[in-house]
Amino acid sequence: MAIPDYETVMLPIMKVLLDKTEWHIRDVMDQLAQKLGLSDEEKTRMLPSGNDVIFDNRVRWARLYLLKAGLIESPKRGFIKISNRGLTVLAKNPNKIDLKLLQQYSEFRKWKERPPTDKTEVPIDTTKTIGEQTPEEALEYGYQQIRQNLVQQLLELVKNASPKFFEKLVVELLVKMGYGGSIKDAGAVVGGSGDEGIDGVIKEDRLGLDTIYIQAKRWENATVSGSELQKFVGALEVKRANKGVFITTSNFAKSAMEYVERIGKQVVLIDGEELAELMIDYDIGVSRTATYEIKRLDSDYFTEE
């Protein structure tokens, strides 16, 4: 049989999880391949890039969509289990589970239709099918969707990391962005009790002519308020510093952003999605799997004088 697309495997995934236990995603893939009767060649057939197995890739996409719709849960890294909502859906004995069904859940719609965080990005057009798009459009929209999904995956992992790991991560990111040079010479984590609201410090340049102080808040959902920003600015005053970066895995309240605009110090705010975007741009916690170079015909080359 042909390798099923990611929508086709959604219902089989749910049925595998019907025992209500936690399954490792690798075990789910093996069980699905067996139930679907895939041949050894189909189970190992690679994407054109040669960097992933087609069937595994489709199962992972189906898993992501089911998670975002709340039909399954991820109790720990690499494991999934069916949710109460998922059990309710299966109790109705559906013929299939696809994007149309998932669209009825507000969490899924909000996630699927979220605007890009970078204004230069092309928003994903969810109204067109692959067949209605030009190859260039399909590639562009596909890239944006892969990137935005990666942002969410990175953010989930960072939120589950230890505070110490998070503090080191933000210092490493700033060094990668060109502040100060090396981790050894430019950045240092200084968090812990009695840190006066300062989690890290980094030199602005290799000569150390100025210092940037960092506040890193690994919060799940709590919004950073204006009062939190006032505490941070107060800590900068104690250090006689004029520049700071406040990074959070959540987001900033309007009062916090307005406060930063009013003060005389230079304080940059980075929320969770922007943090994940920067991690992708500067290769923190990610690795490159494939590079596609798009070329166009050079008509001038064929012009004869």
CA gap 63, 61 in Å, rounded = 5
Averaged pLDDT for residues 129-137: 61
Q: Which helix (H) or strand (E) holds 243?
A: strand 243-248
Residue 214 pLDDT > 70: yes
Q: Give residue 196's pLDDT.
A: 55
Neighbour count for residue 20 (Cβ, 10 Å): 11
Residue 260 pLDDT > 80: yes
Q: Copy the structure tokens of residue 166.
A: 């998070």
Give Cα 149 to chain centroid, integer Å. Answer: 5
Averaged pLDDT for residues 161-182: 82
- pTM of the complete model: 0.67
High-pLDDT (> 90) share of the chain, %: 45
Question: Percentage helix, strand, coil, to 5, in the chain?
Answer: 45, 15, 40
Listed in sequence order, the residues at least 6 apart from 283 whose beta carbon sits closer than 8 Å to its beta carbon are 176
DSSP-assigned letter for residue 137: H
Averaged pLDDT for residues 104-117: 78
Q: In the CATH scheme, what is the code of domain 163-270?
A: 3.40.1350.10
The fold adopted by the segment(s) 1-113 is Arc Repressor Mutant, subunit A (1.10.10)
- Write the CA distances from 4 to 19, 26, 33, 232, integer angstroms: 23, 17, 10, 53
Q: Give residue 120's pLDDT.
A: 40
DSSP 142-172: HHHHHHHHHHHHHHHHHHHS-HHHHHHHHHH
Compute the C-alpha angle 42/68/15, nearest 5°.
50
pLDDT: is 125 or 181 the higher one?
Answer: 181
Q: Give residue 219's pLDDT.
A: 87
Residue 277 burial by Cβ neighbours in a 10 Å radius (0-12, 13-18, 19+):
buried
Residue 85 pLDDT > 60: yes
Would you say the CATH fold of 163-270 matches that of 1-113? no
Q: Give residue 93's pLDDT.
A: 95
Domain range list for the chain: 1-113, 163-270
Average pLDDT, the chain: 84
pLDDT: is 205 or 175 the higher one?
Answer: 175
Q: Give residue 119's pLDDT.
A: 40
Residue 148 pLDDT > 80: yes
Averaged pLDDT for residues 74-85: 91
For the stretch 231-258, pLDDT in tens is 999 989 888 888 899 999 999 999 999 9
pLDDT: is 183 or 209 the higher one?
Answer: 209
Q: Which helix (H) or strand (E) holds 252?
A: strand 251-252
Note whether 65 and 102 are within 8 A (CB): yes
What is the per-residue burial (b if ≥16 Cβ within 10 Å, else e) of 44-65?
eeeeeeeeebbbbebbbbbbbb
